[in-house]
Chains A and B, each alone.
Chain A
Amino acid sequence: MMDLLLLGDRRDRLLGAVARHFRENRPDVPLRSCRLEDLASARWSYRLGNSEAASRVILADGHALTERPSLVLNRLRFEPGLLFTAMTPVDRDYARTEFLALVMSWLAGLEAVMVNRPTALGLAGPALRPWQWLGAAHEAGLAPYPGRAGNSARRLASGANEPGWASRGDLLRILANPAMAYVGANRPYALAPSCEETVRIDIIGGEPAASRAVDTRTLEACRNLARSVSADILSVILGKPAGEGWHFLSADPAPAEMAGPALHRLCDWLAARL
């Protein structure tokens, strides 16, 4: 019997929900948790060669992390502020960068059944940039939600005030910088029309949940998207601009939470892999 290793922050709501589900419904499954900070303070011996990759990670409590075969639900996020805080700034920045590189490699090669194995684009699955997602969605057969972004509003035909269009900061991350308010008229922008309705499609293990709100073709395109980015879990948000059908808004391989049927589907899928 494999145990279930939950990798992620203690405050991760989805991990907490999964842990509670297994404790209540599968008390026979040993559960273990490990945070990024725990890995940073562990004793490491990671070997990589032409015939094998082997690791021994001894946590601060003396337990070896990979003593037994595991099913791993990986939701680690690189949060450098938590790591090596006792070092000088220069040493600390270097240590954080080195540690991220180690964890990325270790997880990628870990001999365990892993959900959200790291890719070059993310520690817990594909963390694409916003326009990469729009491009990937289009190639998967989804219509990208209307949007435009640029480094200078002077190129907008109607300035930055097109009727029905509003700022959409997730399309250009620098817009989150509060100092952007002082840039002036020739400022960067990201705009999209208002969204009348949204729906979330959770793809788990490559399969989207059935939805009465979304047609089969669109669900199939969501499945294609998850497959194209190699995501075991992918939450896709679709939106409807006024008078139009479903368009792709965004996607996340590590959604903050799942509840109800989606959570049960996830836990059933995990249990089937034990």
Chain B
Amino acid sequence: MILFAGIPSEPPLRLAIEAAETLGVAHVVLNQRQAEHVDIAIETGPDGLEGSIWIGGAEYPIGGLAGIYARPVDADSLPELGAGGSAGPDQAAALRLRATLEILNELLDVAPCPVVNRPSAMASNMSKPFQAQMIRRAGLLIPETLVTNRAEDLLGFHREHRRIIYKSISAVRSIVREWTPSDGRDASAVGTVPTQFQAFVPGTNVRVHVVGETCFATEIHSEAVDYRYGDREGRSTTMQPIELPAEVEAICIRLTRDLGLILSGIDLKRTPDGQWYCFEVNPSPAYSYFQELAGQPISEAIVRMLSDRKQDGSRNGSDRRKSC
């Protein structure tokens, strides 16, 4: 049995639940918005750590789960804790929501079955340049990067690379934008807080979703600097599945595994001269956008991975811990 945890209507989780239903894979859904009906317990035992989840009164021992796909949201993001929400003025309910999330995260990190993805494994994404060092060690190229709060360094970097972009250093979502000295944004503005700049890498965006040992590569064509926000700029985006070069595919699979992940969304760019640059490994990818636009069967792959079954019915390898 697979456990799905998070907001079931959120597209990545919704698609995976639908895939489990279509494939006839036994599953149970932990709806974070109905935490009052969810109990979670964890304890030490003779063979390590043990735990159970109760959903609507039914108990599901963690040791009996085949796999978990979890996309929990921060408790403060839940509508229930907002003004007018069902837990609005009820501090006890709000605390219980937060406690449920805390203990769920603990459980996700120690559960013996494969977990997509363990919270501790997702932490590298907190710092893009921190993660970039791991990407470089894995064998992919990274953009030349400068983090600075010195205007003279920014101007020098621009002179060196001619086209540069800026983005957040952390996991805070930002729109990637190009910077030039002449576009009205004063270089001295970086003096407030160090900002990340990168040399613009020309070429074609390729998004790779890795599920265990399987890659789904999608080529993206967009006129926008950041294709994710092309619509805002009135720029269209099209996608198509492609095959990666074997070496690049192998690196993506190895990088995902080395980061402790089962599922990843890797942002690549193929330059006109055939080099491959990597910008980020997303540990909680919203793959639904690519599945729906490019027809990639990612949700099915997730369910097969977690249910330990390949398309031919044989077993997958799995990330199983020895204890819990």
Cβ–Cβ contact A104 & B130, under 8 A: yes
A49–B48 alpha-carbon span in the complex (Å): 43
Instruction: Compute how far the CA of A132 lies from the CA of B48 in the bound complex, rounded to whole angstroms.
Output: 12
* Among candidates A45, A134, A135, residue contacting B150 with C-beta atoms closer than 8 Å: A45
Given contacts A43-B149, A146-B44, A147-B43, contact A121 B120 (CB under 8 A): yes
Q: B139-159, CB under 8 A of A: which get 1 and which 0?
A: 001101111111001000000
B7-15, B19-27, B104-112, B239-247: which lies at the interface: B104-112
**A135 to B49 Cα, complex, angstroms:** 7
Interface SS majority for chain B: mixed
Contact check, A120 vs B194: say whether CB atoms are below 8 A apart: no
Check if A132 sits within 8 Å of B110, measured CB to CB: yes
**Chain A residues near B150 (CB, 8 Å)?**
43-45
What is the CA–CA distance of A184 and B54 in the complex, to the nearest angstrom?
A: 20
Report, as a range, how many residues of chain A touch the other chain.
35 or more
User: Nearest CB to that of A58 among chain B residues?
Assistant: B150
Enumerate chain A residues within 8 angstroms of B130, measured Cβ to Cβ.
Answer: 101, 104-105, 108, 118, 120
Report the separation of the CA atoms of residues A214 and B60 in the bound assembly, to the nearest whole angstrom: 38
Question: Within 8 Å CB of A188, what residues of B?
Answer: 95-96, 99, 103
Residues on the A chain within 8 Å of B144, using CB? 47-50
Say if the beta carbon of B172 comes within 8 Å of chain A: yes
Question: Known interface pairs A100-B126, A138-B49. Does A179 touch B95 (Cβ–Cβ under 8 Å)?
Answer: yes
Which of the candidate stretches A62-70, A151-159, A250-258 sits at the interface with the other chain? A151-159
Q: Which A residues are in CB contact (< 8 Å) with B105? A: 129
Asked whether A38 is an interface residue with its Cβ less than 8 Å from the other chain, the reply is no
CB-CB < 8 A to B153: which residues of A? 45
- Closest A residue, CB atoms, query B146: A47
* Residues of chain B with a CB closer than 8 A to A144's CB: 44, 48-49
Measured between C-beta atoms, what is the minimum distance from A219 to chain B in Å? 21
Instruction: Give the distance to chain B from A263, nearest Cβ to Cβ, in Å.
Output: 31
Are A184 and B92 in contact, CB atoms less than 8 angstroms apart?
yes
* A149-B103 in contact given A48-B129, A132-B109 (Cβ < 8 Å): yes
Residues from chain A with a CB closer than 8 A to the CB of B323 are 135, 138-139
Closest A residue by C-beta to B152: A45
Instruction: Assess the B133–A105 pair: CB atoms within 8 A.
Output: yes
Q: By the criterion CB–CB under 8 Å, are A183 and B95 in contact?
A: yes
Asked if B98 lies at the interface with its beta carbon under 8 angstroms from chain A, I say yes
By the criterion CB–CB under 8 Å, are B127 and A104 in contact?
Answer: yes
A16-24, A26-34, A170-178 - interface stretch: A170-178
Q: Taking beta carbons and an 8 Å cutoff, which residues of A are in contact with B?
A: 43-50, 53, 84, 87, 91, 94-95, 97-102, 104-105, 108-109, 118, 120-121, 128-132, 134-135, 138-139, 144-152, 154-155, 172-174, 177, 179-180, 182-184, 186-188
Complex A-B, nearest 4 residue pairs according to Cβ-Cβ distance, in ascending order: A148-B43, A150-B41, A101-B127, A120-B123
Q: A120-B124, A174-B95 are in contact. List 16 more A-B contacts (CB 8 A).
A: A46-B147, A91-B192, A94-B193, A95-B193, A105-B128, A120-B123, A128-B120, A129-B109, A131-B49, A135-B324, A139-B321, A148-B41, A152-B39, A155-B41, A172-B103, A174-B98
Q: Would you mind naming 19 contact pairs between A and B with Cβ atoms under 8 Å apart?
A: A48-B132, A48-B142, A48-B145, A50-B142, A84-B193, A101-B127, A101-B169, A102-B127, A102-B147, A108-B133, A121-B120, A135-B321, A139-B322, A146-B44, A148-B41, A148-B44, A149-B42, A150-B103, A155-B52
